Chains A and B, each alone.
Chain A
Amino acid sequence: MWIQHIILLCCVVLGVLGSRQPASAQGRSVQLDFTVMVHGKSDVVGSGRYINRLGQTFTLSAVKYYLGHLTLERADGSGHFLADHVLIDAEDSTSGRVTLRDVPSGTYPALTFMVGVDSIHNTGGPLEGALDPLNGMYWTWATGFIFVKVEGSSPSSTQPKNVLEYHLGGFAHPYQNMRWVTLRFTTPLVVGTVAESLGVTFDVGTWLDACNIDFALQPTVTDVRSAGPMMDHISSAFRANR
């Protein structure tokens, strides 16, 4: 009987440790900076004109995406975890600035995150913050959140006003389109006495090229079935700057 209590106690203690970082004196903030680019160029929304691998020109009017379960990982796979989802908006430079607080000292060779919103938050009620429907990322006709939204135009698009529109989401079987990304650093991040920072870029151009999107054939993708193949390529578009 008391064995069960001890097991329960261990679970509870682990739960405490897992859900809240110990208030260790060595805990440091780590600043993450997420930037959206197209073929290595930033400031992607607005005037910039880009060319995809098929030679089709395009411009972008919106790039937004969700990150969840951001985890700075140690070599043994344990890590420091951010509970909230983060919405990155290419037009709002502050949105890409994410602070991980009270990160215990140690060596962290990788960053892992989910692109998208986990299923619990897709079916729950309205929340403030990144998941506020006011951010325009909640689907008004399908279920749940849009994970990645890329809008723009291309002369190759056959849509009215030559629009490009990629609204990718889907959390329910068989179209579960969240994707996990792990970025391994060339130089591990060492959290110790000095404040650390880490830059991560998401290159829309690299991603669309990896998807081999032909703007004439696929100017829009807004359904959960077609989103999967595009989400399969999303990890190739993320880079860590160390």
Chain B
Amino acid sequence: MIAALVVIVLVARSTSRTHNPSVVQSTDTLREFGRYLFYDATLSVDSSTSCGTCHQQFAAFAHIDHAVSHGVLGRIGTRNVPALQNLQQQTSFMWDGAFEHLAMQSINPLTGHAEMGSTLPDVLARVARNPRYQQLASQLYDDTQITIPRILEALAAFTGSIVSRSSRYDAMRDGKLVFNENEQRGLDEFRTHCASCHAEPYFMSNDFASNGLPPDTAMVDVGRYRVTQREEDRYRFRVPSLRNIAITFPYMHDGRFRRLRDVLDHYGSPSKHTPYADSRVTSIAGLSDVERKDIIAFLLTLTDTLLPREPRYRDPYLP
């Protein structure tokens, strides 16, 4: 009796809500829809740039050797392209956490002036008249319609499916191999100095912190403060994942460091930390040369063997 009434309430509530676009026939097809969209350069204003232009699979979906992102019409952004992996673990997106839902995040690169430079009405028009997407939509939705919420859900279904779980570190955790001496010492050092922000096994935290870098004088990026206008958020950025760090250079929110040893020099040298650095950074009293080398040896174990060549993540427009 009570169960039946609970069901009635749930039905009553769901019918009174706005239609949720995520009711689809097949999540595999939705992911495919998302993969075609992700690599589709016609979504950008001049049909030059897709999501995959800056999020390169071989670089764990970061933009290798680019300090900051390149957008349409030669425009240059202000922040380093983050790797895309294990996004289901994140509660916010972008360096400043401006988005709290993965599907909504795509609006930023699609419409960003220095990214794809398009508008949502243009994106919708281009997707809706493409026979491939019409066919996918007819498989996915009873009413076969293509809408912006459905495009966003599809992109998130693809990017949310990108998983990093096949590194030497993962094999070590699974008991399939034993770290060498440097890697093991590096892991121990890492757990002492770095893991309070970059927590295992995703090597990130859903948190914002100032890493003690002086602001770039040209970009004057205030980080999360721009979003929240809270004074304590000035110069704070998301704590990124360190998975695949070896193949996602350069480093930091503005890509100012090209090499891992530059990063370790920063964290390991208290004199370089600005006064507003997070206490978890200033508590690092210093790192010796050996410690830095060991930590790097450990960080190299975070490189995924499958993700960079996983066929399900591949650009479908390539021959």
Contact = CB atoms under 8 A, between A and B. Distances in A.
Interface stretch (B130-138, B225-233, B236-244, B301-309): B225-233
B229 A225 contact: yes
Interface string A168-197: 000010110000000000000000000000
A140 B111 contact: yes
25 contacts: A12-B6, A16-B5, A16-B9, A16-B12, A20-B12, A85-B18, A123-B100, A124-B101, A125-B20, A126-B149, A126-B152, A128-B19, A128-B21, A128-B147, A132-B149, A133-B104, A133-B107, A133-B120, A134-B121, A134-B147, A141-B108, A143-B98, A143-B100, A172-B228, A224-B229
B21 A126 contact: yes
B218 interface: no
Contacts of B99: 143
Contacts of B103: 125-126
A127 interface: yes
Contacts of B8: 16
Chain B binding site: helix, strand, loop or mixed by DSSP? helix
A75 interface: no
A84 B22 CA distance: 18
A174 B232 CA distance: 12
Interface string B99-137: 111011001100110000000110010000000000000
B9 A12 contact: yes
Nearest to B153: A126
Interface string B1-41: 11001101100110011111110000000000000000000
A224 B148 CA distance: 26
A65 B103 CA distance: 23
Interface of B: 1-2, 5-6, 8-9, 12-13, 16-22, 97-101, 103-104, 107-108, 111-112, 120-121, 124, 147-149, 152-153, 156, 226-230
Contacts of A138: 104, 107
A13 interface: yes
A142 B96 CA distance: 9
Contacts of B230: 174
Q: Which of B13, B100, B103, B104 has the most CB of A within 10 A?
A: B104
B226 to A, nearest CB: 7
Given A9-B2, A225-B229, A19 B21 contact: no
List the 4 shortest-distance A-B pairs measured between CB atoms, nearest first: A126-B149, A225-B229, A134-B148, A20-B12
Contacts of B226: 141-142, 223
Interface string A80-103: 000111000000000000000000
Given A127-B19, A132-B149, A133-B148, A142 B5 contact: no
A42 to B, nearest CB: 26
Interface string A132-167: 111010111111100000000000000000000000
Contacts of A9: 1-2, 5
A125 B101 contact: yes
A129 interface: yes
A125 B9 contact: no
A141 B229 CA distance: 13
Contacts of A55: none
Contacts of A123: 100-101
A174 B12 CA distance: 34
A12 B108 contact: no
Contacts of B1: 9
Nearest to B103: A125
Contact of B229 (A15, A127, A175): A175
B275 to A, nearest CB: 23
A144 B228 CA distance: 11
Contacts of A175: 228-229
Contacts of B100: 122-123, 143-144
A131 interface: yes
A140 B112 contact: yes
A101 to B, nearest CB: 11
Contact of A131 (B18, B156, B227, B228): B18
A140 B17 contact: no
Contacts of B13: 19
A133 B107 CA distance: 8
A51 interface: no
Given A19-B12, A126-B21, A127-B18, A134 B229 contact: no
A19 B16 contact: yes
Contact of A20 (B16, B20, B120): B16
